[in-house]
């Protein structure tokens, strides 16, 4: 039942926010993401994706989230220093926000997010949060990006392989080409499939050689961290269990070496 998604007892459940129209021009994003987005919307893949989503909305499908690009509104490209890559938005009502793994305050914390909080507590000593929103991380430079950005109610991966992946690959590539330092947390095989592309784009030549160090290496650095997906099905499984991976402290320490601060605190209420 929808009421089971909320952490309180007797609560009046509002109508779930959802996508009501295909209107990328109305989805607010930070200006420095616009060149990548505009190029995609004009492409054959972008046109095909628009046609598909429009057809599903016209057929009465309930599509989440309301703002598919909310991650790009909260986190400017110029400020990205961590990427946490998810796969598919949550497919239950009130769950998907447009941020990977995150849910709105008051919504019951999904199992994968609960395991993220468990590892956060184990790794850096933060208290378990009763609030599933990761918005605070997004505002500190953590790009919380899914590879597919819409989904239908009760149908996981229903919008996968329809074009979103081409856009999110382009967004990841732009981060790798522009971020001076960035940590990539790749949890599960789906996310880890992006590691080669991230490495290639990070190491690629810098335009006009203006960003090169004296030794000739690009002035960009990436720390790629891999572990199983935090799902209960894999979080404790060898050879790379998520619980015990230490990614949060590793990211914090590596960024500190590069004169970048990162704190993982969240509103725990």
Q: Which two tokens stand for residue 171?
A: 């967004």
88 is catalytic: yes
* Contact (CB, 8 A) for 16 and 2: yes
SS (H, E, C) 128-189: CCCCCCCHHHHCCCEEEEECCCCEECCECCCCCCCCHHHHHHHHHHHHHHHCCEEEEEEECH
Tell me whether strands 151-152 and 63-64 are parallel, antiparallel or unpaired: antiparallel
Helix segments in 89-128, DSSP class H: 111-124
Of 248, 13, 19, the closest CA to residue 142 belongs to 248
Cα–Cα distance between 42 and 30 in angstroms, integer? 19
Q: Examine residue 41 and say whether the peptide bond preceding it is cis (omega within 30 degrees of 0).
A: no
**Catalytic member of 26, 32, 38, 88:** 88
State the DSSP H helix or E strand holding residue 237, giving kind and residue range, or none if neither: none
Cα–Cα distance between 30 and 227 in angstroms, integer? 30
CA 223 to chain centre: 17
The beta strand positions in the chain, using DSSP E, are 63-64, 82-86, 142-146, 151-152, 181-187, 221-227
Active site amino acids? 88
């Amino acid at each position: 039942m929808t009421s089971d998604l909320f952490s309180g007892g007797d609560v009046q459940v509002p109508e779930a926010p959802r996508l009501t129209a295909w209107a990328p021009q109305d989805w607010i994003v930070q200006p420095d993401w616009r060149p990548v987005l505009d190029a995609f919307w004009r492409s054959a893949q972008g046109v095909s994706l628009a046609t598909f989503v429009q057809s599903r909305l016209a057929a009465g499908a309930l599509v989440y989230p309301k703002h598919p690009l909310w991650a790009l509104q909260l986190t400017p490209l110029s400020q990205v220093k961590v990427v946490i890559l998810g796969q598919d938005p949550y497919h239950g009502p009130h769950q998907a926000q447009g941020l990977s793994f995150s849910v709105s305050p008051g919504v019951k914390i999904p199992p994968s997010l609960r395991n993220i909080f468990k590892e956060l507590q184990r790794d850096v000593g933060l208290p378990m949060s009763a609030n599933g929103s990761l918005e605070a991380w997004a505002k500190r430079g953590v790009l919380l990006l899914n590879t597919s950005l819409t989904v239908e109610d009760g149908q996981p991966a229903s919008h996968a392989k329809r074009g979103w992946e081409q856009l999110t690959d382009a967004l990841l590539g732009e981060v790798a080409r522009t971020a001076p330092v960035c940590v990539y947390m790749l949890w599960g095989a789906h996310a880890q499939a992006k590691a080669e592309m991230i490495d290639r784009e990070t190491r690629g030549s810098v335009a006009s050689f203006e960003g090169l160090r004296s030794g000739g290496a690009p002035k960009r650095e990436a720390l790629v961290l891999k572990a199983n997906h935090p799902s209960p099905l894999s979080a404790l499984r060898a050879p790379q269990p998520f619980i015990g991976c230490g990614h949060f402290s590793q990211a914090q320490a590596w960024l500190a070496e590069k004169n970048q601060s990162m704190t993982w605190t969240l509103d725990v209420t």
